[in-house]
Chains A and B, each alone.
Chain A
Amino acid sequence: MSHVHRRGAVTPTMNITPLIDVVFLLIIFFMIVSKISADELPELLVPEMDDPAAKAPGEMSRIVVSILPTLPDVGKRPEGDALQANRTDNNPLNIAGDARAVQVGIRLIPWDRMAEELAPEIEAQLKQNAKLEVMVRADAGVYFRDVQAVLRQVSAAQLPDTELTLNFVMLIEPRL
């Protein structure tokens, strides 16, 4: 480097300000979107397996049927820890095993109306989309009887010329 160059040099800087602007906007966008999509799924402790055979969900259009457990009221959308702490001895199964409600998409159906309203709800979705994946996402502590009742409603929603596939939701990675 010559003397002339060194003397007259203006330190070259990149203007990063617009980059920061854009990054900031992206962050805000993704935070809002992820919050919305998390709101659609009620907090549950889905079953956890030692050796799960489950795979990441595919890209098909799907409908998530969550089966909510009866828990002491902890307010709206408790965090994962609170959900766990609500159970006796921190045992995820130690709750009253009767289901409290079913949530389809963003619609919450109380358990006593499940038998009338669940199948029509799925049928309505099936009319818009003939190929549909139903993901049954039940809390680990719910009785099998109640899950079975939901499964029966799901199969009742099957219409001719439609393809309804069933999937059970479980954890792939162990819970921390």
Chain B
Amino acid sequence: MAEAHQTASLELSDPLEETVHHISARRRRGRDTTPPQLSLTSMIDVIFLLLVYFVVTANFTQDEGVLKANLPGADAPSDAPPPTDEPLRISIDPRGETGYILSLQNQNIQDFTQLTQLLVQYQRDDSKKRYGMYPKDHPVKIEIGDEVRWQHALAAFNAAAKVGYENVQMEPRR
């Protein structure tokens, strides 16, 4: 740059060239060499391919997760809870085609949000400042009607697990 200015100022002494000196300086530079350029085309190619790849794979990955449970009857004999503990009872019955009737300890409740709230209230867990009646390992029994949709059955199980109960059973409602 400094050199370019110098040439320009030298040429400035010639009054005839004065009006066009800046253009000629640039043109001279351009004539010498083409300015070094990085070819972006191939990089764009690669980025495009990567983009397509991620778009395609994003379609395949379903965000499915798992909730651990115990197999019914698998380890029942070894560590069955003492039968004197009256379990916390949740029951679900079908209503209409796809609906449900939910109750906790024989009291009707509206939905799974309310179930979660009540389960929190009922729980005793000093570390979480919950002062209900039931400790974490208190058995929770979910009784589910035959024609209840899996969505609702799992929602109840999910609510109990989320609140922190560790001994949750699902069984058919009689």
Contact = CB atoms under 8 A, between A and B. Distances in A.
B43 A16 contact: yes
Given A27-B52, A38-B60, A147 B150 contact: yes
**Interface residues on chain A, size class:** 35 or more
Interface stretch (A70-78, A106-114, A123-131, A135-143): A135-143
Interface in A1-24: 3, 6-7, 9, 11-13, 16-17, 19-20, 23-24
Contacts of B167: none
B157 A168 contact: yes
Interface stretch (B16-24, B30-38, B77-85, B122-130): B30-38
Closest 8 CB pairs of A and B: A54-B65, A173-B63, A167-B66, A172-B65, A93-B98, A140-B151, A16-B42, A145-B146
Interface in B57-79: 57, 60-74
Interface string B154-166: 1101110110000
B1 to A, nearest CB: 10
A13 B41 CA distance: 12
B89 interface: no
Nearest to A62: B66
Interface of B: 3, 32-34, 36-39, 42-43, 45-46, 49-50, 52-53, 56-57, 60-74, 97-98, 112-113, 116, 144-155, 157-159, 161-162, 170, 172
A165 interface: yes
20 contacts: A3-B32, A16-B42, A23-B49, A34-B61, A47-B155, A48-B151, A49-B155, A49-B158, A54-B65, A91-B98, A94-B98, A140-B151, A141-B150, A141-B151, A144-B149, A144-B152, A145-B146, A155-B73, A165-B71, A170-B65
Contacts of B147: 97, 143-145
Interface of A: 3, 6-7, 9, 11-13, 16-17, 19-20, 23-24, 27, 30-31, 34-35, 37-38, 41, 46-58, 67, 91-94, 97, 135, 137-145, 147-148, 151-152, 154-155, 158, 164-173
A167 B67 contact: yes
A23 B50 contact: yes
B72 A138 contact: no
A74 B147 CA distance: 25
A140 B149 contact: yes
Given A144-B145, A172-B63, 11 more contacts: A12-B36, A19-B42, A41-B62, A49-B154, A49-B155, A54-B158, A141-B151, A144-B150, A144-B153, A145-B146, A151-B72
B45 A92 contact: no
Nearest to B53: A27
A165 B68 CA distance: 8
A143 B42 contact: no
B39 A13 contact: yes
B35 to A, nearest CB: 9
Nearest to A13: B39
Nearest to A168: B67
A139 to B, nearest CB: 7
A97 B149 contact: yes
